[in-house]
Amino acid sequence: MSDWDFLWGLEGQELLDAMATGATYEEWALIEGLEHKDGETTFFIDEFHGDIALFIDGENISSKYAEQILEIANDIGTIAVAKVYGLQKDECTKKWTEKASKKEIKDIRLCGKPEKNKVDKKIIKDMKKVILDHSWINTICIASCDGGYAEVLKELRDLGLTIVAIATKNLSHKLKEVCDEIYEL
């Protein structure tokens, strides 16, 4: 029996994926559903095959919603990119750092002088970059209530992307108008 016997019977993209990762789709499905010993679910983030980019405004959404946000995004599709943003010296957003490391979310901490909409501007810049670098992404999820993202999200929707907001009850009317789907935390 060879190390490659698990490839028997696979075809097309499934064969290529299994050769590249050493796992079949069924095995990845099993991995996705695994739970940690502490009872927390492991979420699957696949940069090269995922179809969703998730951006979390840590200034606007509490870290207590981390798992719920990931569950919603995973129900929609496969996460390719997951990032949470906050200021380095902001005590409220520092709670996201611990959650992010446990959940495979990239924690983006901005330093320097505080300035208006600093985090928002960084998220908008990263949204545009992710879409350029990951042409296979077809859904943008924004976890925020902030209407400041409406303009860029409208542009991305006009390019054919699906726009999803994951937010608390106080979601901005401007943001509601540009979203294809809205999930309430």
- 35: confidence class by pLDDT, cuts 50, 70, 90: very low
> E strands within the chain?
52-57, 79-87, 106-110, 139-143, 162-167, 181-184
Judged against a pLDDT cut of 60, whether residue 42 lies above it is answered with no
pTM, full prediction:
0.75
Q: How far apart are the first and last CA of the chain?
A: 50
Q: What percent of the chain has pLDDT over 90?
A: 50
Write the CB contacts of 16 (distance below 8 Å, at least 6 apart in sequence). none
Q: What H or E segment, with its residue span, contains residue 26?
A: helix 25-33
Tokens for 28, please give them: 């990845």
What pLDDT is recorded for position 31? Answer: 47
Identify the residue with better confidence: 37 or 73.
73
CATH numbers and ranges of domains, the chain = 1-33 (no CATH), 52-184 (3.40.50.1010)
Mean pLDDT of 17-43: 51
Q: How high is the mean pLDDT of the chain?
A: 81
Query: Of 19-28, 46-55, 142-151, which range is least confident?
Result: 19-28
Query: Do 73 and 52 form a contact (C-beta atoms < 8 A)?
Result: yes
- 89: confidence class by pLDDT, cuts 50, 70, 90: confident
Q: Residue 77, exposed/middle/buried by CB under 10 A (0-12, 13-18, 19+)?
A: middle
What pLDDT is recorded for position 21? Answer: 55
Identify the residue with better confidence: 13 or 94.
94
Instruction: Give the highest mean pLDDT range of 13-27, 87-101, 153-167.
Output: 153-167
C-alpha 110/C-alpha 87 separation (Å) is 5
Mean pLDDT of 92-115: 83
Query: Of 76-85, 101-110, 116-125, which range is least confident?
Result: 101-110
What pLDDT is recorded for position 167? Answer: 96
**Phi and psi (nearest 5°) for 160?**
105, 5
What pLDDT is recorded for position 60? Answer: 92
For 127-180, the pLDDT digits (tens) are 999 988 888 899 999 999 999 999 999 999 999 999 999 999 999 999 999 999
